[in-house]
Amino acid sequence: MSGDGDRPDAGQEEPAADDRRRLAVALHYDKAGAPTVTAKGRGAVARRIEETARAHGVPIEADPLLAEALAQIEIDQEIPVELYQAVAVLIGFILRTGTAPHAPR
């Protein structure tokens, strides 16, 4: 379905506005460098990223501003210096507690 006002076919549900705005960014961090963006997407792709994370026991953080900033980074690229502090706080919290500080319910 395109965003130009097309209507869904009969029997198809139109995605909720929240789902269309949903954004997910996956990071990998192995302590040998800066965290790397490994996946990113919106809508159904974001939902799939979240489902995969949950299935593998990966903590999920709900931080829309950080997610938007991280979404600007290409996949397989390290995060820029400007985001080190925000991501370090998140990673530190996860390493100490095993959960994200603002995990969605």
DSSP output for 54-75: HHTT------HHHHHHHHTSPT
| pLDDT tens digits along 26-46 | 999 988 889 999 999 999 999
Please tell me the predicted confidence (pLDDT) of residue 105: 54
- Strand, coil or helix: 81: helix
CATH topology of domain 17-97: name from scop (3.40.1690)
What is the residue extent of each domain of the chain? Answer: 17-97
Q: What's the pTM? A: 0.75
| pLDDT tens digits along 56-80 | 999 998 999 999 999 999 999 999 9
Please tell me the predicted confidence (pLDDT) of residue 80: 98
